[in-house]
Each structure stands twice: as C-alpha cells, then as structure tokens.
Chains A and B, each alone.
Chain A
Amino acid sequence: KYLSTFIKTLKYMRSPPTPEMATQEVPLNETLAHLKTESETLKSKLEEERAKLHDVELHQVAEKVEGLGQFVMKTRRTLKGHGNKVLCMDWCKDKRRIVSSSQDGKVIVWDAFTTNKEHAVTMPCTWVMACAYAPSGCAVACGGLDNKCSVYPLSLDKNENLAAKKKSVAMHTNYLSACSFTNSDMQILTSSGDGTCALWDVESGQLLQSFHGHAADVLCLDLAPSETGNTFVSGGCDKKANVWDMRSGQCIQSFETHESDINSVRYYPSGDAFASGSDDATCRLYDLRADREVAIYSKDSIIFGVSSVDFSLSGRLLFGGYNDYTINVWDVLKGTRVSILFGHENRVSTLRVSPDGTAFCTGSWDHTLRIWA
C-alpha cells in the first residue's frame, strides 16, 4: 500500500525529465567550471552594455512633470459572500462584473456595481489561486491545487448548474498559480508551481506551447497589451521576471533584481514596461526597450511583501496590495508614495484595476472584496 503512495509522491515531486530531455547532448568536454566562468563574463558584459545606454534616471525625467494632487480614494463597495480567504479576482470587460475565487474552493461571479452575486461554483479542490474572466463575458476559468485550469461557461439562467458544463483545459504537474485568457475565449495562458507556463487551446485542451526557464514556481503572469500581442511576462520564486515570445516559447528578456519571490507582474499600459511586486516589500519598474530596471518603489516603513500590483489607466499610478493589510499608491514617475489606504482586516491577496480605469478591486484574506474609487 505504501508503494502506491510512494509512486504518487514521486510523481508530484519535480516531475522527472521526459525521455526527450534526456537525449540532449551533455557537453562532456566542457567542464561545469568553464561554463560557469563564461556565464559570469557574459553577465558582466551584459551589464556593461546596458550601462552604456543608461544616460538618465527616471526621477530626472520626472522632474519636468507636474506633481500629483491629493487623492480621495474610498471603499465604494464591500463584497461579502466568500467563506474563506479570497485569493484571486478578475474583471469582466463590461467594467462592472468580477469573478473571485477563494481558499474554500468557491468561485463567485458578482455584479460589483449592484453587489449582486450572479453565479457561484464550488470547485472540487481548495485553494483556488487563479481565476479569470473570458473576454466575451460568457465564461470564467479557474484552478489551483487541483493542478488544472477549468473553464465554466456562464449562463443567463441563474438556476443552471454551471459545474455540469465544466471543461478541463490545462494540466500541470503542480498547483496552478495564475491563468489568463488571451484576446479570445479560445486560448488560456497558465503558470504553475511546476516552474512552467503554458498556452492551451480551450476547445480541445491541447497544449499549444510551453515555456520553460524558471528555476522554481511561477507565481504570476500578464499578457502584453500591444498591437502584436505576442508576448507575456511571468514572475517566480526564483526572483526572476521573464518575458516570453508566445509563438516560439523562447524567453526573450529576463530580469533578476528582486531579492525574493515575485508575486505579481503587470504591464505598463503602453506595453513598453512592466511592474512587479515581491516578498522583498518592493515594487519595481522594468523598461523593456532599455532592458533594465528603472525604478524601485519602497519605503523603510514598508516591510511586508507585495502580493499584487496594477497600473491606473494612464500608467501614472501604481497600486500595490500588501501583506500588512494596506494598499500603497505610488507615483510611477517620481517614485514617491502618494497615498496609503486602509480597510482590509487581513492581507490583501489580489488587486486589479477595472478595464476603464474607473476603480480598482482588492481581494483579501479577510474574506471580502472591496471596490475603491
């Protein structure tokens, strides 16, 4: 009997390399030491190249920009209904509906404007860490400790049992940490504790592309809002933020400046930069064209990790949800904190700005979601 437990156990450990991986040629004549020194040389050369083009700091460019006024941001709605920690949420393109998921396996679709609960699904697993609303508004996707991402088509009939039409799409070998639809309802991008990201065809469940390169759990991802729409960024427990080409599966850029797990990554609205939030209590801004980190948003008084970040519509404000129950609002250009918001009674686990930028929503371990404007 413990034999089968062992086999199950081993299966869920870092999954063994497939026979294909094992057939790659090992460069036996290049010793590891040689490769390592080459690696160090290349790394410093890259830093040199980056430094050559670094002719100005962000705050210098920001000097010419007007300062921000005072902000009045308040909780406009409190959504109560989850029986346990809220782990994730996402907005519908209609700018008022949201989907949220929690530790007790419940996924709820709300009309946040009226605060009505429209749909509720109970997942067969606990810790539903990822959820996403489909671009059409006709379905939601979610997953977590079941290692899968499932799609539930929504219905106008409130009494319909959504679980009956559930479709299993993604299969990972470890927990699902994040999921997102691409530009249509037909594809889902996922990230997992197994260290990979993957792109799936929803209709067939087929794996379209997988992305290998993180050395540890991948915790978050975000799709680029560009006209080409072919890249996305992911952040992981290996402290790296990687930018990927969805077509080839290649990692095209990588940034390793955080000192701890990266919990959240979000593109700047133009797609030319992205922000990250980490357990090291900082948020950082990375410029993709200059290929470097350009700002660190931190304060001595902030010692708890950032769970989630998002930009306001223009990109001027960066909202961060923190593990010390607060939300800090940063001036992206000047690097200063413009506001601190209180209200949640436990850590803020998720934060997203609405599609038209009129509000942002936070989910917390205090079982509630709040809409702020």
Chain B
Amino acid sequence: MLWIHSDSFHRPSLLLLFSFIHLCFQLESILLEMQDPKIGVKGTEQKLNISTIPHVIAGNDIIAWISNKMKTSTEEAQAFGTMLVAYGYIYPLQNHKKLVMCNDSSLYRFQTPYFWPTQKWVPDDSDYGIFTLLLHAVCLCFKQAHYNHLHEWLNHKWDFIVMQATEQYKAGKERKKPDRVVFDCQERAYWMVNRPPVSLSNSNMFYQQAIMRSKVKSSVSLGALVKYITTYKNHDPFLASCLPSNPWQTDHDAYWTLNMRRVEVPTKMRVERWSFSLFELLSDLRGRDDFKIFLKKEFSGENLAFWEAAEELKWGTASSMSTKAETIFKTFLAPGAPRWINIDGRTMGLTVKGLEHPHRYVLEAAQTHVFMLMKKDTFFRYLKSPTYKDIQKKALNPEQHNFSPANLEQNALNRSPGIHPIILWQQEEEEKAKVAAASAPVDVKAMMSKIDRKK
C-alpha cells in the first residue's frame, strides 16, 4: 500500500484510510447519479457565441435535485453544491472565477473525472488530520460490509475511467470546436481550483529573482562560517570547559548564578563575548547596560534608545502600534524632538511619511541606519573606551571546580531550585519602569502645548 511505506507516525491506519476513501467514493457515486440521463439533473445545450456546449445544468436545478435526493433544506443543498464547485467536481460556465453554487439560472457543468481532486490525492498522505473527525464515521462503518463497499467502489471507478477515456478520445479524434471549448473550460476550471499557491508563472518569477540575487563566493561565505566557529570555540561548553563547571555535569549551578542578568561583576568570558559583535553586546542585557554607561558619558544615548523603542514597536502587540509610533515620533523624529536622532534626510523623510499610517515595520529603515551607525562607529569606540577596559579588568575568572565523588553525590542531593523566571521577569519589568521614569526628558514643548490645549 502506497500510504504505509514508512513508519512515520503521521501515516493513518489502513482502516481509517479505507473508510475515508469509502466516503469519498460515495460522493462520487452521488455525482454519477446526478449525471444519469434518467434520474439525474436535467441538462441542456447552451449556445456560447457560435458553439454549443452540451450537458449544461442550471444552479437552481442542481440545488433542487440535491435537496430532493438527500432530503435536506435548500440552504444545506446549496452549501453542499458550493462544496462540489469549490473542490472542482462541478464548474461554473459564467463568472468562472467565483467558485460557488448559485440558486438561480447560473450555468454549470460536471467536471470530467480526469480533473477530479480524488485523482491526485489517493497516494497523498497529507490529510491525516481528517481522520480524527472520521473516527466517528469509522465506528459506524466498522463492519464486514465495509469491504464489500470497497469492491463496489472498484466497479464504479471502472465506469469513471471509461467515461474519462471516452471524453478525451472524442476530443482528440474530432477536435470539434465545441469539444475544444468544453475542454478548455474544464482545464481552466481545474486550474482555478487546483492551482498551487505559487503558480508556474509565479515560480518562474521566483527563479528570475533568484538568478539576479547577489550571491557571494563560496570561499568567502564558508570562510565566514569557519571564522565564527573559531571565534566562539572557547565559549562552546561542548568544546571547552565551562568555568567553574558545567552545572549538568557537576550538579552545581554556580555557572548560572555567576552569569545572571543583573550581576554586579560579570565573568571574563562574558565580557569577551561582548566584543565579538554589536549584536552580542546588545543581546546580553548586562552588556547592553555597560554600553549604555559608555553612551551616557558620550552624551550619545539617543541612537540606542531609538533602536530599543523600534524593537518594542516591531515585537509589540498589534493594538499598541499607533500609540508607540506616535511616542517614538514625538521623542526621536519630530523637528526639535527631545532625543532627536541624526539620520540622513532621505530615511527621515521616508520614516515620517510612513508614520502617517504606522505598521510594525515602519521604522525598519531608520532602525537599520541607526544600528549600522552604532556598529561601524560607536561599538568600536566602546571597545577601546575606559568603560570597557574597566569592566574587563574587574571581570571574574572563576576557578575550575574540583569535586570529589563524595562532593558530586552531595551536589546531586542539593540541587538548587534557582529563581523562577516569572519572578525574574517581574523584577526586570520593575527595573525598566524605574529607569524609564528617571530618564524621561522633560519635553517642554509638549507640556506647553498640553497646557495651551487645556486653557
């Protein structure tokens, strides 16, 4: 069986698959009945310009037939009919872009089995999620008769294959205009329903873009990968020892306590890591704090403050977007703003314009510009600064732990629970609020206009 070729967990059981196929072929048997010349939906010929399209059916006739056959209300029948259209079993002749069944004289045709969705999903195992729903159906169908239905299905399938072959043979042999039109309608309808999200023309565009995309020589990019590994080699606990020890190996969590968020004195390894890139420095909040000390001394903290505010905007809730954007504009971008950032005119123009309709990426250009400024200039000055040299000197270099087997046993019994992340997060939020309150510059202009408005 195609679908049981591998042991992966998401392959459904044979039984579930059978019941699913069983239900699907019941659907196809309904369609067969609908097309029966005696008991099916009444079809007519439809003139289309100079050609005549055979076997055309009206929407209201289909819905009436379904309603009668299945003993349902008109709404249910219409919903069922819409599903048949959406999945490509029936296609509309007029307004072919809207895949719904209308309860009026709109015209439809049955899709040739060649184009039925079931033709391509029998070997596909992607729809197993359905099977949980069908568990109910399975309980009902779990009888010996189940296998007899399957046999019946095989006979139906043969009819379909013959019908399909006949249509294609006719179309091929005669190439009569009406058949050609019909085939085109069918094919178009098929692609309407089954077009993959990235159509062939879209994927060709993708290839063109990929060809034009700037690429780097292998020697350069692979060289960069190697460089990264070499830089971080001593910091990788699997390649070099953690100092004082790896908590998982010795059951002693000193390594974590020494590297907490708000330590007074960081470790030498941690301080060294800040020098690897601006990204590392900013990602470690303790490092960011140290960077802020340096920036304060240089009176150039607004770039980092802007970068932080832009991050808050990007990763914040959708509902907070406009308020944040407004505050950022007032604080950093407006002419005469208290923490005005010095970016080039073009970026400033684009950003201010974008802020008229703020979205989470509206500050992208400005943020990148500011980040680049910090990366190329401020960061290197920081690494040469007394602030950094100072912290390098002060940084701790813990001794390697040397536990005896008895010590290790003790450690295992006394594993420290540490501080819960929720508590740490609450502390962090409190600190942030304190800092924000302390450093908020008095916006004289805003205060004045507020007073003006109140008057």
Contact = CB atoms under 8 A, between A and B. Distances in A.
Nearest to B8: A279
A203 B317 contact: yes
Contacts of B416: 113
A203 B201 contact: no
Given A61-B223, A145-B132, A195 B197 contact: yes
A2 B22 CA distance: 12
A366 interface: no
Contacts of A22: 97-99, 192
A23 interface: yes
Contacts of B206: 251, 254
A104 interface: no
Given A95-B256, A137-B425, A247-B364, A17 B228 contact: no
B218 A13 contact: no
B144 to A, nearest CB: 20
Contacts of B215: 49-50, 53, 289-291
Interface in B370-420: 371, 415-418, 420
A134 to B, nearest CB: 9
B49 interface: no
B124 to A, nearest CB: 8
A313 interface: yes
Given A182-B315, A186-B315, A279 B236 contact: no
Contact of B318 (A103, A208, A292): A208
- Say what secondary structure dominates the interface of chain A: loop
A5 B225 contact: no
Contacts of A164: none
Contact of B229 (A201, A261, A316): A316
Contacts of B76: 3
A53 B253 contact: no
Interface in A181-212: 182-184, 186-187, 193, 195-196, 201-204, 206, 208, 212
Interface string B63-103: 00000001010001001100100110000000001111000
Given A22-B192, A137-B422, A56 B219 contact: yes
Interface string B229-247: 1111101111100100011
A269 B207 contact: no
B448 interface: no
B99 A373 contact: no
A174 B127 contact: yes
B119 interface: no
Nearest to B118: A13
Interface string B116-134: 0100010010111110111
B259 A53 contact: no
Interface residues of B, number: 111
Contact of B204 (A39, A279, A314): A39
A206 B7 CA distance: 37
A126 B132 CA distance: 10
Contacts of A195: 126, 197
A8 B222 CA distance: 51
Contacts of A58: 222, 225
Given A113-B253, A358-B255, A9 B23 contact: yes
Contact of B216 (A30, A53, A183): A53
A97 B421 contact: yes
Contacts of A291: 210, 213, 215
B371 A227 contact: yes
Contacts of A2: 23, 26
Interface of B is mostly: helix
Interface in B150-201: 188, 191-193, 195-201
Contacts of B225: 58, 268, 270, 272-273, 287, 315, 333
B129 A193 contact: yes
Interface string A77-104: 1000000010000001111110000010
A228 B368 CA distance: 8
A261 B192 CA distance: 27
A282 to B, nearest CB: 15
Contacts of A6: 23, 27, 80, 83
B50 interface: no
Contacts of B117: 13-14
Which of B129, B130, B204, B278 has the most chain A CB within a 10 Å cutoff? B129
A357 B237 contact: yes
B422 A206 contact: no
Nearest to A226: B279
B331 to A, nearest CB: 20
A36 B199 CA distance: 11
A67 B20 CA distance: 55
B316 interface: yes
Contacts of B10: 175
Interface string A219-232: 00000001110000
A39 B196 CA distance: 15
A126 B9 CA distance: 13
A7 B220 CA distance: 55
A165 interface: no
A204 B317 contact: yes
A174 B129 contact: yes
Interface string B316-331: 1111000000000000
A237 B126 contact: yes
B357 interface: no
Given A10-B87, A92-B421, A203-B319, 16 more contacts: A3-B80, A8-B133, A9-B23, A9-B133, A10-B83, A17-B193, A21-B197, A26-B191, A42-B208, A45-B207, A137-B424, A226-B279, A227-B278, A247-B361, A290-B217, A356-B237
Interface of A: 2-3, 5-14, 16-17, 19, 21-24, 26-28, 30, 32, 35-36, 38-39, 42-43, 45-46, 49-50, 53-58, 61-62, 65, 68, 71, 73, 76-77, 85, 92-97, 103, 111, 113-114, 116, 125-127, 136-138, 145, 147, 154-156, 174-175, 182-184, 186-187, 193, 195-196, 201-204, 206, 208, 212-213, 215-217, 226-228, 237, 247, 251-254, 261, 268-270, 272-273, 279, 287-292, 294, 305, 312-317, 323, 332-333, 356-359, 365, 371, 373
Kindly list the 5 A-B residue pairs having the minimum CB-CB distance in the complex, ordered from nearest.
A137-B421, A16-B86, A42-B207, A212-B197, A314-B232
